[in-house]
Structure 1
């Protein structure tokens, strides 16, 4: 978070926005292909507020929010998911 905010402050004069997405535990091919042992897959992300891992599509709206020119004033933000 500090890195994002500091970098955004340094680059704002160059019209460069800096934001971060910190997704937490999300399902990716890495979990299925060996990052987690099979017996741990059931409890993956059970400690999060939603008590389940997120799906990549559930973050899409954050990236869509940040992409267009209409978000040109959005900088120094960290979008956190459980």
Structure 2
């Protein structure tokens, strides 16, 4: 009976050790899950920022196109004005 009690005590100790290890693994898994969730959230924010930058770049491109049209029109008007002034000078 003493030997059986000793074996039962050893089994109990091992079960306690296993339970502790499972608890640690659960805590580690939960921490990893939290870290992955934070990384996913960060990736989402980066994607949103990139979308914003892309939108700003599109707006800038449109503004530059409009500016180019205005500059071309001003250049044409300046040439017309030079032609008109040249007629009066001579």
Question: Under a length normalisation based on structure 1, what TM-score does the superposition of the two structures give?
Answer: 0.22
Q: Which has the higher contact order (CA 8 A, sep 6+)?
A: 1
Question: Under a length normalisation based on structure 2, what TM-score does the superposition of the two structures give?
Answer: 0.21
Greater Rg over alpha carbons, structure: 2
Higher strand share: 1
